[in-house]
Amino acid sequence: MTTLNVSGAGGRLTAMKCALLVLCCLLPLGCVSPSGEAPPQDPKLAAVERAEASYQQGLTLMAEGEYGKAVVAFTESLHAFPNQHRAHYRLARCHYQLGNYGIEISEYRKCLALNPQHKNALYHLGSAYTAQDEIALAQDCFRRLLTLSPGHSDARQALGMLEAVATSADRSVQQY
C-alpha cells in the first residue's frame, strides 16, 4: 500500500491511519474487495436481469415465429424469476401457436392466478375454452372480462354466441 508523504514520520503515520479507516468503511459496503475484484452483485438482482434477458429473447423469437425456441426462453425466464404473469401469458400464446391447447389453457390459468385482471389472458382463455367446447368455463372468462372492461366488443360477441349455444337444443345428445 502506498502512503501519502505528508510531513515527516508522524504525518506518514496519520495518512496510513486515514487510508486504513477509509478501507474499513468501504469493505462492508462491498465497494472494495480484499482481493481487489469487482463487488459481487445482489443475486436477486442478477436473477431479475437474467429473467428479463430471457423474456426479451423470447419476445424476439416469437416475433420471428420460432415458437418452440420462444417456449424455452420463457421457461428459462420463469426459472430465473418465477411468478411472472407476463411470461406465463407469452408461454400460453406460444403453446397456442404450437397446437398444445391443453398447456395453453394451463398457462393462461397460471397467468390469471398471478394477475386476475389480465384482460388478454381472460379473453384468450375464454377463446381456448370455447374451442374445447367448455361452454360454462368460457362464459365465465368472458363475463369476468366484461366486468373489467365492459366495452370489450369481441368478448361481448363471443359471450352472446355461447349463450345461444348453451340454450340451444343442439347440445342435447338425446336427439341422436
Return residues touching other proteins (CB under 8 A).
Answer: 96, 99, 101, 127-128, 130-134, 154, 157-158, 161-162, 165, 170-174, 176
CB of 4 or CB of 131, closer to other proteins: 131
Shortest distance (Å) from residue 117 CB to other proteins: 21
CB of 24 or CB of 176, closer to other proteins: 176
Shortest distance (Å) from residue 65 CB to other proteins: 14
Shortest distance (Å) from residue 155 CB to other proteins: 9
Helix axes of 119-131 and 85-98: crossing angle, nearest 10 degrees:
30
Shortest distance (Å) from residue 72 CB to other proteins: 21
CB of 118 or CB of 124, closer to other proteins: 124
Q: Per-residue b/e over 97-112, b at no fewer than 16 CB within 10 Å?
A: eeebeebbbebbebbb
Q: Is 30 helix (H, G, I), strand (E, B) or coil?
A: coil
Q: Per the structure block, which three cell numbers stand in for 105?
A: 389453457
Shortest distance (Å) from residue 131 CB to other proteins: 4
Q: What angle do CA 161, 162, 165 make, to 5 degrees?
A: 95
Q: Can you tell me the distance from the alpha carbon of 152 to that of 26, in angstroms, rounded to the nearest whole number?
A: 57
From the centroid of its chain, how far is CA 142?
A: 23
CB of 84 or CB of 130, closer to other proteins: 130
CB atoms closer than 10 angstroms to residue 127: 19
CB of 99 or CB of 150, closer to other proteins: 99
